[in-house]
């Protein structure tokens, strides 16, 4: 079988290596002596004039001389030692496209590390996170030199596919520019000044950094492998060799790696808020910079795409609504855990009240009626005047939508509520 060009002590079993290592350093497409002998024996068994000739050479001259003669042939020469051969290239694509359990574990661990760093940044308010899902194959780094014609961008030292933060910044800058022109509908608040402040100036005479920093994106790949796509170059005799164009040329299929559709992409953008306040304080008011950034992302999803070959549909994405809801739910649960027991009881009634009011399910037997009574009883024992008044205000709000029963006055409920509100 074809071998990788590595020292002997490393062996040739690289199934546990990362996709990036199998695609690069451990690329097993190079011919060794065993490959040559296998090819000679294969040709000798073919029932054809060439097969008969090879069989005679093998019988009379032996393997060494047969290999030497087949190497010197103009038509279908035998691959030399350490030459790339077509069979090896075809099998190599299958080998480094597969993802092991360790690869998927590394992808998940890297995203978790980013989330941990983002949680620290979020406390300062200068963080924007957006979850997206690929709706088309994603590829990047095709221009990197590689023995198989097209390269691919892997994040080192992990050897996993990634979308560089610099690429994200470039796409969003272009999205903002297109929104400013107005040719795509509303500008959604974008202006040239906002682009300069958030992304930085590209004028070499007045260069300055922008307020935004874009993190690399680690795709959470769907399935257990990368995809191998094929593009077929036509008219190569005209474009590459200068011959006259015609339709009798041989198309040349070229393979390249992609991340499959359905894979998840989590974008993290950090804003230098002190810098933004100094340059453009109006963009910090109400987190306006986040609103602008979201519109730029949505425009990029619809019209631009990320990575390479976007002009033919690669890199198209959409916002992952399920991931957004999950993130919001996790944030709400985390915020709830940080509350005191009294605040949790207030928020529990607030949540139930909002849900049942939205559904039109406010009745005398609803959870709102039951939980506000529990809150009224519990709040009587609280010593914090702020919490007592907050509980009373929420209970009053529920009364406007769901009045007390006729027994409330006899039970002294109005008086108890007034006592909460009048807390000094």
SS (H, E, C) 76-110: CCCCCCCCECHHHHHHHHHHHHECCHHHHHHHHHH
Res 408: pLDDT: 64
Are 236 and 180 members of one domain?
yes
Are 220 and 278 members of one domain?
yes
Round to whole Å and give the CA distance between 343 and 338: 9
Is there a contact between 137 and 260 (Cβ–Cβ < 8 Å)? yes
How would you classify residue 163: left for phi > 0, otherwise alpha for psi between -120 and 50, otherwise beta? beta
Are 300 and 180 members of one domain?
yes
Are 169 and 236 members of one domain?
yes
CB neighbour list of residue 323: distance below 8 Å, 6 or more residues apart: 131, 133, 264, 266
Domain of residue 371: give its range: 339-421
Considering the domain boundaries, does residue 386 fall inside one?
Answer: yes
Are 282 and 362 members of one domain?
no
Considering the domain boundaries, does residue 333 fall inside one?
Answer: no
Round to whole Å and give the CA distance between 279 and 210: 10
Q: What is the CA radius of gyration of the chain?
A: 33
Are 148 and 274 members of one domain?
yes
Considering the domain boundaries, does residue 277 fall inside one?
Answer: yes
Res 409: pLDDT: 61
Round to whole Å and give the CA distance between 142 and 214: 22
Token pair for residue 112?
């978790």
Round to whole Å and give the CA distance between 330 and 336: 10
Res 272: pLDDT: 94
Are 68 and 87 members of one domain?
yes
Domain closes at, from 64, 79, 97 = 97
Res 332: pLDDT: 73
Res 200: pLDDT: 92
Round to whole Å and give the CA distance between 277 and 66: 77
pTM: 0.77
Spell out, as residue ranges, where the chain has pLDDT lower than 50: none
Round to whole Å and give the CA distance between 136 and 292: 25
């Amino acid at each position: 079988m074809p071998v990788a060009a590595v020292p002997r002590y490393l062996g040739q079993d690289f199934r546990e290596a990362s996709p990036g290592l199998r695609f690069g350093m451990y690329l097993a497409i190079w011919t060794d002596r065993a490959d040559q002998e296998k090819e000679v024996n294969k040709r000798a068994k073919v029932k054809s004039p060439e097969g008969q000739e090879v069989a005679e050479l093998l019988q009379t001259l032996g393997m060494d001389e047969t290999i030497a003669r087949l190497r010197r042939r103009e038509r279908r020469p035998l691959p030399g030692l350490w030459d790339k051969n077509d069979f090896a290239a075809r099998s190599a694509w299958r080998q480094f496209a597969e993802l092991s359990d360790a690869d998927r574990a590394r992808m998940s661990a890297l995203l978790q590390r980013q989330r941990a760093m983002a949680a620290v940044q979020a406390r300062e308010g200068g963080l924007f996170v957006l979850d997206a899902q690929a709706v088309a194959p994603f590829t990047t780094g095709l221009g990197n030199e590689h023995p198989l014609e097209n390269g691919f961008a892997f994040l080192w030292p992990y050897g996993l596919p990634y979308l560089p933060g610099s690429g994200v910044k470039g796409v969003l800058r272009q999205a903002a520019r297109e929104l400013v022109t107005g040719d795509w509908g509303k500008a959604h608040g974008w202006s040239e000044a906002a682009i300069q402040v958030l992304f930085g100036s590209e004028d070499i005479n007045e260069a300055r950094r922008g307020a935004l920093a874009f993190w690399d994106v680690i795709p959470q790949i769907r399935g257990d492998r990368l995809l191998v796509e094929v593009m077929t170059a036509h008219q190569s005799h005209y474009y590459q060799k200068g011959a006259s164009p015609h339709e009798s040329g041989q198309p040349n299929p070229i393979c390249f790696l992609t991340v499959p559709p359905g894979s998840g992409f989590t974008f993290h953008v950090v804003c230098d808020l002190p810098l933004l306040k100094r340059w453009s304080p109006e963009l910090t008011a109400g987190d306006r910079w986040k609103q602008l950034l979201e519109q730029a992302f949505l425009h990029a999803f619809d019209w631009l795409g990320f990575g390479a070959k976007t002009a033919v549909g690669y890199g198209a994405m959409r916002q992952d609504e399920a991931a957004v809801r999950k993130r919001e739910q996790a944030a709400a649960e985390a915020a709830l855990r940080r509350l005191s027991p009294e605040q949790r009881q207030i928020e529990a009634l607030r949540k139930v009240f909002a849900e049942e009011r939205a559904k039109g399910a406010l009745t005398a037997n609803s959870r709102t009626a039951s939980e506000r009574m529990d809150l009224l009883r519990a709040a009587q024992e609280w010593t914090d005047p702020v919490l007592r008044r907050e509980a009373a205000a929420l209970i009053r709000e529920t009364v406007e939508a769901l009045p007390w029963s006729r027994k409330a006055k006899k039970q002294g409920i109005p008086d108890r509520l007034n006592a909460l509100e009048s807390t000094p």
